[in-house]
Amino acid sequence: MDDVITALTKGIAVYETLRTYNGKPFALKEHYERLKKSLSYLKIEPPAFEDFEKLVYENLSERMRIVYVYSKSLLEYVFQEDTEEFKVEYVKVDITTVRRADPWSIPPDLKSLGRPDIYLARLTKGDNYDVIMLGTKGQVCEGTFSNVFLIKNGKFITPSLESGILDGITRMYVIRFLKESGYEVEERFVEPAELFYADEVFLTHTSRGIVPVNQIGTLKTKSVELSSKLSKAFEEYVKCLL
Ligand code: PLP
């Protein structure tokens, strides 16, 4: 109990959300590496990979959130995530007025619970699936729990890591999947206007893979056709990797 009180008053919590397919966790190593990165910013010794793996396998569920709270020692908690809200074909998003924190203040890959930029942006979500945050220079960054892609003239474009985004694990696998499927993928700074002129826009995140976007603010996107097809194909791609 002492540990929990110290954690609540002085501690910080980092987390990873994992997805399992047919009883197998996807991208376990990548999630572990990202957890290690989060903990490294806080100068906290990470758990051994074997302990992380054991924790995951002992608590396996379709979508799970592993939380590490630091007080005098590292406390671990596992939560089952609700899967219902993700059962959608396409979604509406908006651009939030809350900006992603300057990476020089808070590293974008410090995945902590209650991160103020993410938390405040989520408060502006309304009935949107997610809201897209811009960076300090006005560049497109990402959603509060998702990365952003757009399709223009057959080419895929996504904000580069230098834009100040979380190194999304789904983003990384989607880029690989698209390249292996013969598509061109550009990682670079993206202007907000590009989202509105895009042929298609989609989000990526662990719990749902590729999520087509059919509306940004009050404007409908041109199409969700290719992203819907890719969303299904990506599910199969992931299953084949396991
Ligand atoms: N961006 C942010 C800010 C996130 O919190 C998340 C996931 O939690 C993502 C992107 C998507 O990352 P991943 O694909 O690893 O789930």
- Same domain? For 217 and 129 the reply is yes
**Atom of ligand 1 lying closest to residue 171 CA:** 14
Same domain for 149 and 224: yes
Domain count, the chain: 2
- Which ipTM score applies to this complex? 0.99
118, 127 Cβ separation under 8 angstroms: no
* Same domain flag for 168 and 198: yes
Considering only CA atoms, which of 170, 166, 150 is closest in space to residue 158? 150
| Ordered per-residue pLDDT tens for the chain, 242 residues | 666 677 677 778 999 999 998 889 999 999 999 999 999 999 999 999 999 999 999 999 999 999 999 877 888 999 998 766 667 799 999 999 999 999 999 999 999 999 999 999 999 999 999 999 999 999 999 999 999 999 999 999 999 999 999 999 999 999 999 999 999 999 999 999 999 999 999 999 999 999 999 999 999 999 999 999 999 999 999 999 98
Q: Could you identify the atom of ligand 1 that is nearest to the CA of residue 142?
A: 1
Write the CB contacts of 242 (distance below 8 Å, at least 6 apart in sequence): 21, 22, 24, 26
Backbone angles phi, psi at 218, to 5 degrees: -95, 0
Q: Are 150 and 157 in contact (CB under 8 A)?
A: yes
* Beta bridge mates, 63: 19
Distance of CA 182 from the midpoint of ligand 1 (Å): 25
Whether 98 is in the pocket of ligand 1, judged by its Cβ within 6 Å, is: no
Tell me the CATH number at 156.
Answer: 3.20.10.10
Residues 60 and 89 grouped into a single domain: no
Query: 200 lies in which domain range?
Result: 85-241
| pTM of the entire predicted model | 0.95
